[in-house]
Amino acid sequence: MAPIRVLVVDDSVVIRRLITDVLSGDPDIEVVGTASNGQLALGKVEALMPDAITLDIEMPVMDGIETVRALRRAGRRMPVIMFSTLTERSATSTLDALEAGASDYVTKPANVGSVKESLEQVRSSLIPKIKALCGARRPLGIARRPVTPGSGTAPSPSPTGHAPPASSAPRAPVLTARRGGATPYRVLAVGCSTGGPDALGKLLAALPADLSVPVVVVQHMPPVFTKQFAARLDKAVALTVVEATAGQVLRPGHVYIAPGDFHLRIKPAAAEGRTELDQGAQENFCRPAVDVLFRSVVETYGRDVLAAVLTGMGQDGRLGALDIVAAGGSVIVQDEATSVVWGMPGAVANAGAAEEVLPIGTLGQALARRLTRPALSGQRVTAGAREQAAFSPPTTVMPARR
């Protein structure tokens, strides 16, 4: 397969050289051009037709946000990865760029004078994202073929961004029915990563302001960004959205987003859950990690957990989703066609831990129905229903908890 062709856009000569050196050192990637501002970049896109673009936020003549908007208006759907610094201003601009159509972002090295550390930071953060976003080698935004049992799925990227060999045939998603079903859910837990800000916004917008349970979220984001992200969502949806702090008692109708660089765990507190934050070891190369959150909600709420895994690279959330299902809870995942990267939700679906695989446009509504549906005592999923679940298409609505 031909290497992934990348256009590097940044007004800093040092950063352009740094990114070019890192990317050129990977045999699967070719830097086909560079540009010092968005206006020059637009001309080079037409001439070079790259597979992906790395784009600085702040540049003269035309900044990164306007460049993304211009690309999308022109119908250019190649992945665009923003380069941002860890400041409140840059966090706001990066979220603006994601709203405008950017695919993902990485943070710039804090000290470009430390060449070795800077090279490694860019290499470890940028290359996996380029490979994950370009791995399917199809333009971003074109719907992918729905996965049905027997058809197989596109290889999901590993945490390092490398897809499995083409000869390995991944299993088709096997849906699982929830065990039992006599008591209502008490919490909604959500995990997401690449493409998650847009997907999470759509999910939360579908939930009512008087939601009867709290919502806890891990979105892979660095510090500073999560606070800005929570504030932005709080203005956009009916629910109250905050960045989680330690010791908060969870309240219905409130959304708690894990802060960057901290794991979020939910611990028992009388009849409710309570937030705990820590900087324990990374899991799945992530902190916060979805698996950490999912394990903790199972420990606190047992079988009364409803969870959703949205678009994202890697497989964070897979083990936690299996724990939720083993305890009798429910997991729904975003489908491949509407995911920017079908890594995390695909890993959960392929592990047999998803009851439903739904497009993001209907996933939030499906969660709302489950969270407002009255309980029917004694309702149980039969063995026949389980057998039917194993052979139903992923978008089929499975017997749900009532």
pLDDT digits (tens, 9 = 90+) for 301-336: 999 999 999 999 999 999 999 999 999 999 999 999
The yes-or-no verdict on residue 59 having pLDDT over 50 is: yes
Q: Give the integer Cα–Cα distance in Å for 342 and 313.
A: 7
Give the active site residue among 118, 193, 296, 392: 193
Mean pLDDT is lowest, of 5-9, 136-140, 227-231, for: 136-140
Q: Which two tokens stand for residue 89?
A: 């201003």
The yes-or-no verdict on residue 95 having pLDDT over 70 is: yes
Give the active site residue among 104, 198, 316, 335: 316
The yes-or-no verdict on residue 34 having pLDDT over 70 is: yes
pLDDT, residue 395, reads 40
Q: Is 193 a catalytic residue?
A: yes
Query: Which residues, 6 or more positions from 147, have their beta carbon under 8 angstroms from its beta carbon?
Result: 153, 172, 173, 335, 336, 357, 394
Residue 164 CB neighbour total at 10 angstroms: 12
* C-alpha of 96 from chain center: 17
pLDDT, residue 209, reads 94
Output the furthest CA–CA distance in the chain (Å, rounded): 67
Query: Which residues, 6 or more positions from 285, have their beta carbon under 8 angstroms from its beta carbon?
Result: 159, 314
Task: Give CA torsion, residues 394, 399, 400, 402, to 10 deg.
Answer: 170
**Segment (H or E) for 15:** helix 13-24
Domains and CATH numbers, the chain: 4-134 (3.40.50.2300), 187-390 (3.40.50.180)
Q: Give the integer Cα–Cα distance in Å for 301 and 341.
A: 30
Q: Is 220 a catalytic residue?
A: yes
Please give the backbone phi and psi of residue 221, each rounded to the nearest 5 degrees, phi first: -155, 150
Q: Strand locations in 207-290, DSSP E?
A: 215-219, 240-243, 254-257, 263-269, 272-278
Q: Is 63 a catalytic residue?
A: no
